[in-house]
């Protein structure tokens, strides 16, 4: 039996990963992290979607210690979430230092317990928003360290790593779940479901990708299939 663990936030990217995993694995577990995040509604959204989509299990882990250590606009209410600025190439204040290090490590431990061979995460280097822990180099390095430390060949999969947001919409559409992803997921840094606040970086990136996909569905679908190897 092929088993996978999906790092699941209830956002566009992780939901698209979950939808694909459910089609490709016999058993899929979701793990969501409560780190005292600003947009805590995502935990409820993740619970709802994991159940609706048919995950085998959904575990919510308390990692609020991260909130004590990592200062970010996503962990501190007194730090405003920035509006989207396409010219800003630095690390944004929405970056939570160490978040993916912690999340992927804990997800791998959970995978060990449920005998899953794969941990799936929706990180993406193409549209990574300046987050250093969304890069392919980081994921591969951590995967190597975790596999050594547990003496188990747990594989980290990143289905969206080389897709842009338009292609991520195409992937959801490929699996017949584009409407669900648009209406039911929560990507917004201000905690608004669906199309969100329209002003934060997450909402603008998501909307720009959607508009690009809708403007050229056949072309972008073809690009996505070429990158992912889907038929």
Please report, in range form, the residues annotated as the binding site for ATP: 8-18
Spatial distance between the Cα atoms of 213 and 221, rounded to a whole number of angstroms: 8
Detail the residues annotated as belonging to a binding site for Zn(2+). Answer: 188, 197, 200, 203
Detail the residues annotated as belonging to a binding site. Answer: 8-18, 188, 197, 200, 203
CB neighbours (10 Å) of residue 165?
Answer: 23
Q: What is the dihedral of CA 128, 134, 140, 142, to 10 degrees?
A: 170
Pick from 36, 227, 131, 57: nearest CA to 139:
131
Q: Which residues pair with residue 62 across a beta bridge?
A: 34
Q: How far is CA 226 from CA 24, 48, 215, in A?
A: 18, 32, 19
Q: What is the DSSP letter of 90?
A: S
């Amino acid at each position: 039996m092929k088993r996978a663990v999906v790092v699941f936030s209830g956002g566009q990217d992780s939901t698209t990963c979950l939808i694909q995993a459910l089609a490709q694995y016999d058993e899929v577990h979701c793990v969501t992290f409560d780190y005292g995040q600003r947009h805590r509604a995502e935990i409820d959204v993740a619970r709802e979607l994991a159940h609706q989509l048919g995950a085998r299990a959904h575990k919510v882990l308390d990692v609020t210690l991260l909130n004590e250590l990592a200062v970010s606009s996503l962990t501190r209410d007194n730090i405003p979430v920035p509006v989207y600025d396409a010219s800003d190439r630095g690390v944004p204040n929405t970056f939570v230092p160490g978040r993916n290090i912690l999340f992927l490590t804990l997800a791998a431990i959970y995978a060990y317990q449920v005998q899953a061979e794969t941990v799936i995460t929706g990180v993406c280097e193409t549209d990574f928003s300046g987050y250093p822990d969304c890069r392919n180099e980081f994921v591969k390095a951590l995967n190597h360290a975790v596999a050594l430390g547990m003496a188990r060949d747990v594989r980290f999969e990143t289905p969206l790593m080389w897709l842009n947001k338009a292609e991520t919409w195409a992937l959801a559409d490929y699996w017949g779940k584009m409407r669900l992803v648009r209406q039911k997921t929560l990507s917004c840094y201000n905690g608004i479901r669906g199309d969100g606040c329209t002003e934060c970086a997450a909402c603008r990136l998501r909307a720009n990708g959607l508009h690009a996909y809708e403007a050229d569905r056949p072309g972008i679908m073809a690009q996505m299939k070429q990158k992912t190897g889907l038929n």
